[in-house]
Each structure stands twice: as structure tokens, then as C-alpha cells.
């Protein structure tokens, strides 16, 4: 067997599990150990007949295969003749690729934006503004004796989160693991995570702000006078308050159910108020976003470093930040852009049709390893390596730990990484 005993870092989600062992046979991965099904699908896509293989140029409604050099030269021509390019994606690109994307955006006075706004861009921005520290997942494992999943469902989305870090393993101060760790879940439906939680807090849709306000009120010593809170019976609510007051270390992992349930900003602000209050009351309380895409956190941090905002940064002439979008949706709807470079993202399938139509109407370059809907409608498609499997680099885990990817040696070089393509592109601009 080739490759037995070697490990790779899975880029199936922002947990970036670094203990994935594999076996190879005839240049193909034949066995994977410790990986979950999402990660398995990602690794094996590198060998799928559907993976993109050749650079494509659109002409007269169909694609023709071209060389990598020709595709990059055409892409450079499109960007050079554009007044304001949109550079979109980034949550599924390495830190090195994101740096290059920002450099291209600055050089061309373009708009740098991506899926950070759909995910946890604003919540990470707010946490940093409030000076909220973020522990490493290993610290949570060792110390958290109360874990809350709020609007997050790792039972379906981050399949190894509970088993590897947050719930089941034994830790230094939680020597019996799940037997002594309390698990609470707040959600609007009976998800697979709520099912295994000891405290099940099933709230009305959009009830997060009401629940958060009531918790804050209780912790401030102002008991609420109601029969139920956001659809939760008072008894269940008060039991949860007691757990928060009694357990020394609460780790709250929050998902899009909190940040995108109608009153996203209000929810996130109340949520961090609750976290602050618990810490002021002598408890340790940490909050961590359950970022989805493998490098969403890296994309947010790099955007903040470059332009002070977590997404929607418009670079003016000379590379200065000309404006920042309050909402990337508004920016994508109303800002002017006349070409698009899309890296590892499929906006035509995920964005409102008005924005999708705009992107379809302008010259578009896509870097991906799949022929996504956006790639199918692009002018130039450049196949790139599956990150972590066919190419290396760095990515930032959900707890902001920077992880070095360790691709499978024999597969490196089959396809250029997103970083290599962007680097060649930048040199031609
Ligand atoms: S939990 Fe995420 S990083 Fe870990 S194996 Fe599954 S997809 Fe990969």
C-alpha cells in the first residue's frame, strides 16, 4: 500500500481535522480513516469523473479546451480592461490565495467580497470589536463542563465536532467526558443535535432575541414574570439559567440559526452581551462561530486586516479602501462592477436571482475544481487543485488556529493550486 500511515488535513469544514489517515492504490486513495462523510466526499472528488480537468473558454455558447497559459492570459485581459472587477468567494481558498486576491483587488481598484457575509463575517467582526477572546478547541475540550449549541447543528454539519472536541472526549477538568459535561441546545426544531442534548430549548422561529433578552434580565437580577419565553416553558428556561449560573465554564457554539434568523445583528449583539455578562459574573464563558467553509474564518480575518470590514471592501485608485459595505447583499445589488473573478464559490446557485443575473451579464472568470452552475455560465473556467488533497498552503480553523495543509504527495502538481493561478494572474496585470 502506498501512503499508509500518512495523514492529511481535511478541508471538508472549518474544523480542519488533521488526523485523517489514508491508503493509496495505483495513485488513487483506497482507504480513509477517521474522516466523516462530508470530508470523504471532498477527498474523493479529486478522483471523480466530474472533476474539472481542462481550462475552458466560452465561445459561441459552448466551451473549448485551452491551455492553462492561454486561460490565464485571457483572464488577465478581462481584468485589465475592466473598470471595476468584483473578486468574490474566498471562504474555500487558502490564506495564501486570499492574500493574492486582496492584492489583485487593491491593484485594480476592485471590490473584494465573498461568502463571509452569508456565514459569520459580522459576528467575528463584532467579537473582535468587543475584545472577546477566542480559546482553542483543545482548551474547550479540557475545560468546558457546559456546552451549548445555539442555532448550530454539528450532528449534521460538523460531524466530528462533538466527538473530537466539544462533548464526548475526556478533558483535564472534565475527566469523565460526556458523563460530566452538560449539553444544551437552542434551536427552532428537533435537530439531531437537540435530540442528544440534556437541555433542549426549542424556541419559536425568530425567538432568539427574546430568549437572549430574558437570559440577560435574569443574570442582571431582574427575574422575568412570564409563563413562557420564546416558546420555552418557564420551568425549562429557569433550569437553563441555573446551569449557566452554576457551571464554571460554558462554551457556546453558535451557527447561522442565530445570526440569520431575521434579526441577525440584534441577535449577535445580545448574544455577546450575554457572554460578557457571564464572564462579569465570575464564570468562564466563550463563544465560537460554527464556520462552515473550511477557510471562512481566514477570509474574514484577512478582510478585516486589509480593509477593516469583514466583507464588501471597495478599493479605490491607489489601493486605498474607498468604502466598506454594511451589507454585502446591498453592495452586490447596488455597487458598480463590470467583471468578476470567482474563486471556489458558486454565487449563481446561492445568491438572489437579481445578483445572479448581474453576474451572468458581465465577463466572468471562475477558479474551481467543480463545474458549478457559475462555472457553466462563465467566460473562462480554470480548474484548480482540491485544497488539502492536491495542494497545500494554510487555512484558519474555526478557533483561529492557523493550520498547515498536508496534501497527498503523489497528487501535488496534477492541477495548479488557486494560489498558483492567482500568482500567475497577478504577474500579468
Ligand atoms: S468534521 Fe469537517 S474537517 Fe473533520 S473530517 Fe468532517 S468534514 Fe473534515
Residue found by looking up cell 489514508 in the block:
22
Distance CA 36, CA 15 (A): 11
Going from N- to C-terminal start, the domains of the chain cover 2-45, 56-118+294-427, 121-289
The whole-model pTM stands at 0.94
* CA 227 – ligand 1 centroid, Å: 41
pLDDT at residue 120 in the model: 85
Q: Which residues contact 148 (CB under 8 A, 6 or more apart)?
A: 183, 184, 185, 186, 250, 251, 252, 253
9 CA: nearest ligand 1 atom: 3
* CA 158 – ligand 1 centroid, Å: 6
pLDDT at residue 88 in the model: 95
302 lines ligand 1 (CB under 6 A): no
Q: How confident is the model at residue 309 (pLDDT cuts 50, 70, 90)?
A: confident
pLDDT at residue 337 in the model: 93
Of the CA atoms within 13 Å of residue 137, those in its CB half-sphere come to 24
Distance CA 22, CA 1 (A): 10
Q: Which residues pair with 58 in a beta bridge?
A: 63
pLDDT at 308 over 90: no
Mean pLDDT of 394-403: 97
pLDDT in tens, 60-117: 889 999 999 999 999 999 999 999 999 999 999 999 999 999 999 999 999 999 988 7
158 CA: nearest ligand 1 atom: 1
pLDDT at residue 2 in the model: 53
Mean pLDDT of 369-396: 97
Q: How many CB atoms lie within 10 A of CB 223?
A: 11
Mean pLDDT of 273-296: 94
* CA 159 – ligand 1 centroid, Å: 6
pLDDT at 3 over 60: no
Ligand 1, atom 1, lies closest to the CA of 160
pLDDT at residue 270 in the model: 92
pLDDT at 386 over 90: yes
pLDDT in tens, 224-250: 989 999 999 999 999 999 999 999 999
CB 294 within 8 A of CB 92: yes
Distance CA 387, CA 405 (A): 8
Nearest to 34 by CA among 134, 201, 173, 159: 159
388 lines ligand 1 (CB under 6 A): no
Q: What is the largest CA-CA distance in the chain?
A: 70
Mean pLDDT of 277-300: 94
118-127, 383-392, 412-421, range with the lowest pLDDT: 118-127
pLDDT at residue 251 in the model: 97
Looking at CATH, the fold of the domain delimited by 56-118+294-427 is given as Rossmann fold (3.40.50)
pLDDT in tens, 119-165: 788 889 888 988 887 889 999 999 999 999 999 999 999 999 999 99
User: Among positive and negative, which fits the CA dihedral 109, 115, 117, 123?
Assistant: negative
Q: Tell me the CATH class for 121-289.
A: alpha beta
Over the chain, what is the mean pLDDT?
A: 93
Residue found by looking up cell 460531524 in the block:
159
pLDDT at 263 over 80: no
Q: What percent of the chain has pLDDT over 70?
A: 98
* CA 294 – ligand 1 centroid, Å: 9
Q: Which of 160, 164, 405 to mutate to test the pocket of ligand 1 (most atoms within 8 A of CB)?
A: 160
Q: How confident is the model at residue 4 (pLDDT cuts 50, 70, 90)?
A: low
pLDDT at 199 over 90: yes
Amino acid at each position: 500500500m502506498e501512503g499508509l500511515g500518512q495523514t492529511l488535513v481535511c478541508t471538508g469544514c472549518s474544523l480542519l481535522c488533521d488526523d485523517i489517515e489514508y491508503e493509496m492504490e495505483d495513485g488513487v486513495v483506497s482507504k480513509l480513516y477517521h474522516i466523516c462523510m462530508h470530508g470523504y466526499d471532498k477527498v474523493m472528488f479529486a478522483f471523480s469523473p466530474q472533476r474539472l480537468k481542462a481550462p475552458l473558454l466560452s465561445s459561441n455558447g459552448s466551451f473549448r479546451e485551452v491551455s492553462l497559459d492561454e486561460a490565464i492570459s485571457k483572464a488577465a485581459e478581462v481584468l485589465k480592461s475592466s473598470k471595476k472587477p468584483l473578486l468574490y468567494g474566498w471562504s474555500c481558498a487558502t490564506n495564501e490565495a486570499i492574500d493574492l486576491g486582496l492584492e489583485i483587488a487593491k491593484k485594480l481598484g476592485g471590490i473584494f467580497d465573498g461568502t463571509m457575509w452569508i456565514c459569520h463575517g459580522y459576528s467575528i467582526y463584532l467579537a473582535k470589536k468587543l475584545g472577546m477572546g477566542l480559546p482553542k478547541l483543545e482548551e474547550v475540550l479540557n475545560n468546558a463542563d457546559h456546552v451549548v449549541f445555539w442555532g448550530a447543528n454539528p450532528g449534521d454539519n460538523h460531524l466530528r465536532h462533538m466527538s473530537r472536541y466539544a462533548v464526548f472526549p475526556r478533558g483535564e477538568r472534565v475527566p469523565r467526558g460526556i458523563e460530566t459535561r452538560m449539553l444544551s441546545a437552542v434551536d427552532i426544531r428537533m435537530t439531531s443535535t437537540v435530540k442528544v442534548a440534556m437541555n433542549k430549548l426549542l424556541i419559536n422561529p425568530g425567538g432568539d432575541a427574546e430568549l437572549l433578552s430574558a437570559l440577560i434580565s435574569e443574570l442582571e437580577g431582574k427575574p422575568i414574570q412570564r409563563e413562557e419565553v420564546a416558546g420555552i416553558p418557564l420551568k425549562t428556561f429557569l433550569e437553563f439559567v441555573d446551569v449557566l449560573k452554576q457551571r464554571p465554564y460554558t462554551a457556546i457554539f453558535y451557527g447561522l440559526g442565530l445570526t440569520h434568523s431575521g434579526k441577525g445583528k440584534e441577535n449577535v449583539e445580545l448574544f455577546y452581551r450575554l457572554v460578557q455578562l457571564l464572564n462579569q459574573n465570575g464564570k468562564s464563558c466563550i463563544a465560537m462561530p460554527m464556520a462552515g467553509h473550511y477557510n471562512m474564518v481566514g477570509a474574514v480575518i484577512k478582510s478585516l486586516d486589509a480593509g477593516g470590514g469583514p466583507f464588501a471592501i471597495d478599493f479605490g485608485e491607489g489601493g486605498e479602501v474607498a468604502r466598506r459595505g454594511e451589507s454585502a447583499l446591498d453592495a452586490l445589488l447596488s455597487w458598480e462592477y463590470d467583471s468578476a473573478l470567482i474563486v471556489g464559490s458558486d454565487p449563481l446557485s446561492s445568491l438572489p436571482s437579481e445578483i445572479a443575473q448581474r453576474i451572468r451579464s458581465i465577463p466572468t472568470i471562475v477558479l474551481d475544481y467543480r463545474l458549478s452552475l457559475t462555472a457553466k455560465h462563465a467566460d473562462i473556467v480554470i480548474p484548480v487543485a482540491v485544497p488539502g488533497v492536491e495542494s497545500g498552503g494554510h487555512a484558519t480553523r474555526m478557533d483561529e488556529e492557523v493550520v498547515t495543509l498536508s496534501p497527498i504527495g503523489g497528487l501535488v502538481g496534477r492541477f495548479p493550486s488557486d494560489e498558483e493561478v492567482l500568482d500567475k494572474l497577478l504577474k500579468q496585470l
